[in-house]
Amino acid sequence: MNIDPPEKKDLMQLMIQIIRMTSIGLLFPVMLTSAMASEWGTLYRWKTTEGVRWMLVGEDSIHDHYQGEIQDGLPQGQGRMRYAGGSSYSGEWEAGRYNGLGTHVRVDGSYHVGRFKQGRAHGPGEEHLTNGFRNSGEWKDGKVWNITRFDAKAEIIEKLAQGEVVREIDYGEIRYRKWEKDHWVWLHQGSPKQHGRYQGQVQGLLPHGKGSYLSPLGVKYDGNWEEGLEHGEGSLTHPNGMRSEGEFHEGLPWDTVAYDRERKVLFRVKRGRMVKENGK
């Protein structure tokens, strides 16, 4: 079947239409692409005397390195940062900083998932600790703000409003402690070999009520606690079998009797001072 060619006038109009459509179809994407241009690649973070620099070259073992979307030489969009120390961040970036939804995994395996702003946790999120505890709620400029703390059994142990504790609960759980300068510091996480291990009632972070503590040297205290110190009725047992029983005061024996493993009296403590069996 023969098709008659279009009239010259119709052909001209058709070509003008095609040119217009082509111009819009090609030119607009080019403008859009140039305005939103981003590429996928790897960047290394160098610390210099002039500040942080993002470079295309580096070594994974000594430099923090980023893989993901890049714009104007900076992490922008979706990407993952692996730090030389072992931690990492995966999520949204803006101008080289965490910004938006993401997950920050620490070296010890604990992690925070939620919103970030300019490199800090900011907004709704959840923090999961290695002992099974969890913090859920709102962060502000990298600090807990309005959150609820849960133990490993998903029971509430504490609530904070605007960074301040508004609910403290006595609850049997695990704590660790270490000596700093002239006092004990209690920790949510630690190593029994380095910090010992407490299990019992607490108030906030501190042991308070009934509980037991096994030191790294194998010395065990069972009894009453007050604001993080052995205080009240209790017993102190040493690896060699020696055992002190009685009243403790602010972390020290106050009115106690010490026995050997055969229950022979070794000495007594009266009002914080040791006295022998003859009373001297």
- Give pTM, 2 decimals: 0.49
- For position 280, what pLDDT does the model report? 55
- Number of domains into which the chain is organized: 1
Per-residue pLDDT tens over the stretch 207-222: 888 889 999 999 999 9
Q: Is residue 120 within 8 Å of residue 138, measured between CB atoms?
A: no
Residue position matching structure tokens 């925070």: 112
Phi-psi region of 25 (alpha: psi -120 to 50; beta: other; left: phi over 0): alpha
Question: Does residue 199 form part of some domain?
Answer: yes
Is residue 58 included in any domain, yes or no?
no
What span, in angstroms and rounded, lies between the C-alpha atoms of 81 and 55?
14
Establish if 74 belongs to a structural domain: no
Structural Rg of the chain based on CA atoms: 33
Short-list 195, 202, 149, CA closest to 173: 202
The helix (H) or strand (E) run that includes residue 194 is helix 192-195
In a domain, 143, yes or no: no
In a domain, 25, yes or no: no
- Which range marks the domain in which residue 239 is found? 170-280
| Dist CA 212 CA 220 (whole Å) | 7
In a domain, 185, yes or no: yes
CATH number at residue 274: 2.20.110
276 located within any domain: yes
Residue 177 lies in a domain: yes
Whether the predicted pLDDT of 32 surpasses 50: no
